[in-house]
């Protein structure tokens, strides 16, 4: 691991799995693509500071009939000191054709695990029924208790939420994005310099 000053330019891309961010880190030893999951919390812009680089490696993915090879830096942490807006030219340099890291991970074949025999499951009348609401129908509004239960399941050990929340970037990317979106809906705002979410004061 090395710690090095630099500037991280982050661009937001609207993908089929929701908004995601890609970054380009410019340092004295080179320029690298950054696709850490925690970047999805940040607004588009330029972030200056000290960056802990845990790994530098080549990476490939397929997009629109082409194979892309890029040099990636895996960040182990960062201490930010300044934020600026992204100019139009800088935004253009960060390709809008980027593949969502969720889709990229799906392209990577997972090692085959031994399959356990599947047992036929008999229906127990006490089991909850399967939702057969037709697609596109509006479901009934959920009671507050059900919403709180869903929030507790979504945030896990972070629940109940306090006035400040620090998300765990090691969780699944989809979960991290759901947590980000839910915090925004609950009135929290992300503070990039401290890398925490804070409940907005009325």
Q: What is the pLDDT of residues 18-38, one digit of tens each?
A: 889 989 999 999 999 999 999
β-bridge partners, 75: 53
Specify the pTM. 0.72
φ/ψ of 194, rounded to 5, equals -95, -15
3-state SS, residue 125: coil
Mean residue pLDDT of the chain comes to: 81
Beginning with the edge strand found earlier in the chain, give each strand of the sheet holding 188-191 in spatial order: 164-165, 196-199, 188-191
Spatial distance between the Cα atoms of 42 and 123, rounded to a whole number of angstroms = 46
Higher-confidence position of 166 and 145: 166
Calculate mean pLDDT across residues 115-124. Answer: 49
Assigned token pair, 191: 């503070």
**CA Rg, the chain, in Å?**
21
Q: In whole angstroms, how far apart are CA 41 and each of 36, 38, 86, 116, 196?
A: 10, 6, 16, 38, 9
| Cis previous bond, 156, omega within 30 | no
């Amino acid at each position: 691991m090395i710690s090095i000053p630099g500037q991280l330019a982050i661009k937001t891309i609207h993908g089929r799995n929701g908004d995601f961010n890609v970054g380009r880190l410019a340092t004295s030893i080179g320029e690298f693509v950054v696709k850490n999951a925690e970047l999805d919390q940040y607004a588009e812009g330029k972030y200056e500071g000290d960056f802990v680089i845990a790994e530098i490696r080549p990476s490939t993915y397929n997009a629109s009939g082409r194979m892309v090879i890029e040099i990636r830096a895996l960040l182990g942490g960062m201490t930010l000191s300044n934020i600026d807006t992204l100019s139009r030219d800088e935004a253009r340099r960060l390709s809008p054709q980027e593949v969502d890291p969720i889709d990229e991970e799906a392209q990577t074949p997972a090692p085959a695990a031994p399959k356990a025999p599947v047992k036929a499951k008999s229906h127990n009348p006490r089991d909850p029924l399967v939702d057969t609401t037709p697609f596109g129908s509006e479901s009934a509004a959920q009671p507050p208790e059900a919403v709180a239960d869903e929030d507790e399941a979504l945030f896990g050990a972070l629940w109940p939420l306090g006035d400040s929340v620090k998300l765990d970037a090691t969780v699944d990317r989809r979960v991290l994005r759901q947590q980000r979106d839910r915090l925004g809906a609950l009135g929290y705002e992300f503070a990039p310099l401290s890398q925490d979410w804070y409940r907005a004061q009325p």
